[in-house]
Amino acid sequence: MPVSGEFAEWAAELTMRHIPVAVRRATGRRILTAISDGVVAARVGLVDPAVHVAVGIGGPPEAELIGHAAGRLAAPAAAFANGMLIGATRPDPEHVDVGAAMAVVLPVALAVGQEVKARGDEVLIAVIAGHELACRLAASDGSRSVGVLGGALAAARLMALDRARIRDAVGIAGGFVGEPIGAGGILGPAGGMAAGNAIVAARLAAAGANGPPRGMDELLRTWRLRPETVRAGLGVEWACAPHPAAAAGTTDYRFDLDICERLGGSRRDARALVAEIRALAFAPSLDSILALTVRIAAGT
């Protein structure tokens, strides 16, 4: 079976009971880090041109931006801007570890999750599925290109596509794979474009477009990865590495305090945002999380 087909089957059947607590915990920390990055970027206007472009694209009111009271935009436009917001504060745009794919996968899940009115647990499962795929590919490929594949998997899962269409979404996303062309200029475009393209790929699959059945296998050959290595232990062993703070021995309490300090704004709102993200698996929707980012970024 092609690698994309195997991941499609796994993602379609994935439930919360299949996901170890350690993976949920590491993912929660990465989501907290990513959203705090986006709030900081919004507060200081790091990628205001991207926000301006996203608002100009407009579209049907499907998803909101991190830290901006711009109203709802089309999901691909929102994912584009949020991907740039999350990616803008990374100190070295050319160095991407396995956690950096979250700067693509999370904006996709936030946008599509709002579009389809997904519950928090559905969003969390989609993030974990997409991030796991990206982590399994990131060992060789040091760019955000793996994120578009994970993002397409997350989007297709949230759109409730069947296994064949999930496979097509990932295959189509492979056509959007590209490499960074160096540092300098506005920050975060690679992640932003990858997030928007991931949703486009899933929508193309939903509309009936076919992806190359062995497209991911071809990418693996390009990246000199063995398919059997990428798929090994899928569903049993997890490539999602522990969050760096965990490796440093940082407790959840200390980590949450550090996130609140980074967020700034109203300390009460910062604590509320951290609590909302911690409870994402039980959240009825993403609306309160996005609303809190706007208040914190505004410093009110």
pLDDT in tens, 17-59: 999 999 999 999 999 999 999 999 999 998 999 999 999 999 9
Banded model confidence at residue 188, pLDDT cuts 50, 70, 90: low
Q: 211, 172 in Cβ contact below 8 A?
A: yes
Q: What is the pLDDT of residues 261-277, one digit of tens each?
A: 999 878 899 999 999 99
Of the chain, the percentage scoring pLDDT greater than 70 comes to 89
For all residues of the chain together, what is the average pLDDT? Answer: 88
Domain ranges of the chain: 3-298
pLDDT computed for residue 217 by the predictor: 82
Q: pLDDT band for 181, please (50, 70, 90 cuts).
A: very low
**Among the listed residues 286, 275, 283, 273, the one whose alpha carbon sits nearest the alpha carbon of residue 39:** 273
CATH number among 1.10.287.3510, 1.10.10.410, 1.10.4100.10, 2.60.40.10, domain 3-298 = 1.10.4100.10
Which pLDDT belongs to residue 300? 59
What's residue 1's pLDDT? 77
- Using 50, 70 and 90 to split pLDDT, how confident is the model at 128? very high
Q: Find, among 16, 72, 30, the residue nearest to 241 by Cα.
A: 30
Burial profile 99-133: b = 16 or more Cβ within 10 angstroms, e = fewer: bbbbbbbbbbbbbbbbbeebbbebbbbbbbbbbbb
pLDDT at residue number 185: 53
Q: What is the pTM of this model?
A: 0.92
pLDDT for 144 beyond 80: no
**Residue 83 — very low, low, confident or very high, per pLDDT cuts 50/70/90?**
very high
pLDDT at 186 over 80: no
For 3, the 3-state DSSP assignment is helix
Does the pLDDT value for residue 99 go beyond 80? no
Residue 151 has pLDDT above 60, yes or no: yes
